[in-house]
Amino acid sequence: MRSYVEIDPRRCNGKPVVAGTRIPVTVILDQLSESGSVAAVLKMYPELTPETIAGVLRYCHSLIEHTELEPERA
């Protein structure tokens, strides 16, 4: 996964970005959410590959898997 996502305090304020780019992981997630399509994201960011997007999603999955979430209180 680290080959797909980098965290560098000098790049994008230390937020996770797609490796070798300045594209924040959150931008990829937002684009996937809006378009519902990997193909649409690849059209917007032709420097990415389907494997890169899959790696980004695995990174996000791993973060969620290793995070203790507490239910929201009403």
The pLDDT of residue 1 is 54
The letter for the amino acid at 37 is S
CATH number of 5-65: 1.10.10.10
* Span 21-57, pLDDT tens digits: 999 999 999 999 999 999 999 999 999 999 999 999 9
pLDDT band with cut points at 50, 70 and 90 for residue 9 = very high
pTM value surpassing 0.85: no
Q: 74 pLDDT exceeds 80? A: no
pLDDT at 46: 96
Pairwise CA distance, residues 18 & 5, whole Å? 5
Distance CA 26, CA 17 (A): 8
| Domain chopping of the chain, boundaries | 5-65
